[in-house]
Amino acid sequence: MQSGLMRLSVCLASLLWLAGGAAWAACEEGTHQGGKARYILCKPSGAWNGGLILYAHGYVSVPEGAPDPNAWKKQLTLPDGPSLPDLVTQYGFAFAASSYTKDGLAVLQGVEDTMDLIAVFTSKVAKPSRVFVTGVSEGGLIAVKALEQYSGALNGGLAACGPIGDFPRQINYFGDARVLFDYFFPGMLPPNAIDIPSSLITNWLTVAGEIGQQLQANPLKTAQLVSTANIPIGLNPANAGDAILSVLWYNVFATNDAKATLGGNPFDNNPRWYSGSLNDWLLNLRVARFDAAPAALTEMGKYQTTGNLRRPLITLHTSWDPVVPAWQESTYAKKVAAAGKSHLLVRYPVPRYGHCAFNEGEVLVAFLTMVLHPYSF
């Protein structure tokens, strides 16, 4: 094991040294999937090594007004500045990314739209010798689903901060946070957790500001909300406000589309016993309860992963992610172990608060581990 890690370290160092003189990306854009999705293809300005990196972006909410065709492209830059195409192409790989044929919950569409990039790249540039799929947040789930379903066309994958372990549990995580918020702070988000009026979406920035003020003014209620909803906030209690608002954002902006996409309400908390408040009996007596639609429960089965890997997967997840908790990654690892494929999974936990809060170095280590994995050749 130590000799293998040493070889990997040498390879990583060599690639980092070679990248020092590499040129940046040359990109072109267009449409595919019958004009319903936009793509960007980028090649290194220098020598191309024959590899292609597919990138699946994260959640893009369904707009109330005219859609922004470039909203997805805002996710092509890391939080600390570098662009993903530049980051990838400096190592001699080509880069391809696509919007999806629908906004909102688009996991199934995202898999097909992302995989179609191979054909687009082949027709526009050349047939790649190696192909890897990567993704963040919702795109992390897309990457894993693609890797499980199309292992014959892919050499490996990288899933960052994605709900890859249990999709229905992720839906319930958002719903639980909302009903518990409504219990501790009644009347701030009418009418309820599964009916989201367009006015709330339109006025979210104002409402979010008011919620933030109430969270600060009522620290005991805020602490109980974090405790009962199991919202990760890290080691700094001051993160509570940001964490709660981040989770509530997904309830407000994703619920209506999720219901439409899945065929009904997917949130179900009827059998749930909430704990962690000053009076759990009163909480469970009064908290709002909802039944999931049978059609939605069935449809969500299509969003589940199996853990049956045939190619290597690298996962990257912050330890205190308030939007997609780290238990998603550990749950997936259990699936992989049950399938007898743990040798194909490399996990990189990042001890930090935040959703997809990675820096360039962390992304590079995960990326280079993926492309240098012995089972990726």
**Rounded-to-integer distance, Cα 190 and Cα 270, Å:** 20
Q: Is 149 exposed, middle or buried (0-12, 13-18, 19+ CB in 10 A)?
A: middle
Structure tokens belonging to residue 181: 């918020």
Residue 43, beta-bridge partner list: 26
Q: Is 310 exposed, middle or buried (0-12, 13-18, 19+ CB in 10 A)?
A: middle
Answer for the pair 120, 96: CB distance below 8 angstroms, yes or no. yes
pTM, two decimals, is 0.93
| DSSP secondary structure string for all residues of 179-212 | HHHHHHSTTSS-SBTTB--HHHHHTHHHHHHHHH
Res. 82: pLDDT tops 90:
no
Structure tokens belonging to residue 376: 């990726």
Structure tokens belonging to residue 332: 């997936």
pLDDT, residue 285, reads 98
Pick the closest to residue 29 from 131, 146, 117, 157 (CA basis): 117
Tens-digit pLDDT profile for residues 244-278: 999 999 999 999 999 999 999 999 999 999 999 99
Run of H or E residues at 350: strand 345-353
Structure tokens belonging to residue 54: 């597919």
Tens-digit pLDDT profile for residues 184-240: 999 999 999 999 999 999 999 999 999 999 999 999 999 999 999 999 999 999 999
**Residue environment code for 362-374, b if the CB has 16+ CB neighbours within 10 A, otherwise e:** bbbbbbbbbbbbe
Res. 373: pLDDT tops 90:
yes
pLDDT, residue 60, reads 97
Answer for the pair 225, 275: CB distance below 8 angstroms, yes or no. no
pLDDT, residue 6, reads 35
> Would you place residue 18 in the very low, low, confident or very high pLDDT band (cuts 50, 70, 90)?
very low
Tens-digit pLDDT profile for residues 105-144: 999 999 999 999 999 999 999 999 999 999 999 999 999 9
* Identity at 318, one-letter amino acid code: T
Q: Which domains does the chain have, with CATH numbers?
A: 2-166+304-376 (3.40.50.1820), 168-299 (no CATH)
User: Average model confidence (pLDDT) for the chain?
Assistant: 94
